[in-house]
Amino acid sequence: MTDGVNLSRRGLFRGRLSAPKAGIQLPWSVSWDEFVAGCTRCGDCLAACPEQILIKGDGGFPTVDFHRGECTFCTECVSACQAPVFRPTIQTPWEYVAHIEAGCLATAQVFCQRCQDSCEQQAIRFSPRLGRVPTPGIHAESCNGCGACVADCPVGSISIGLSRGEASR
């Protein structure tokens, strides 16, 4: 609720039967419920993003689209926002990490290491396998969830999500 307005009731009048679904949240943003309650959907963060990876998501709330590129953690979205929907930027930006899906070319024995090449953090490592192409793995402790690997994957088999065991923020 924000200022006594029930967002789900407002949505009902607009033909929406459920609350907006969380996409990939902006770095340093508060929990999704707090974000929805405080965000004005003005679009200032979208315009401020130099990488142009922020889009209007469900309900018009900003979300990150890693298919457009990576997050450089520049804090421009935080600086542009007038609403109280961000945590201090001295904290970790988020708990997102990369996940490699079953459609990875290595599972089809096709040699590709573009994700590893695009990962500045060196969080994606390929393990050699006798008689087979190397297979990728994510070193979660090194992954900052920037999404560089998502846009670079030729078959779209990398996604960004909460690290294993992380509860929704």
Give me the tens of pLDDT residue by residue for the chain, a chain 169 residues long: 444 444 555 555 555 566 777 889 999 999 999 999 999 999 999 999 999 999 999 999 999 999 999 999 999 999 999 999 999 999 999 999 999 999 999 989 999 999 999 999 999 999 998 999 999 999 999 999 999 999 999 999 999 998 854 433 3
Neighbours of 95 (CB within 10 A): 15
Tokens 């309900």, located at residue: 59
Tokens 């290491």, located at residue: 113
Residues in the chain: 169
> How deeply is 145 buried, as exposed, middle or buried, from its count of CB atoms within 10 A (0-12, 13-18, 19+)?
buried
Annotated binding site for [4Fe-4S] cluster: 39, 42, 45, 49, 71, 74, 77, 81, 143, 146, 149, 153
> How deeply is 16 buried, as exposed, middle or buried, from its count of CB atoms within 10 A (0-12, 13-18, 19+)?
middle
pLDDT score of 168: 36
pTM for the whole structure: 0.82
pLDDT score of 166: 47
Helix H or strand E encompassing 148: helix 148-152
Spell out the residues 6+ positions from residue 149 whose beta carbon is closer than 8 angstroms to its own.
Answer: 98, 114, 115, 118, 119, 124, 158
Annotated binding site: 39, 42, 45, 49, 71, 74, 77, 81, 143, 146, 149, 153
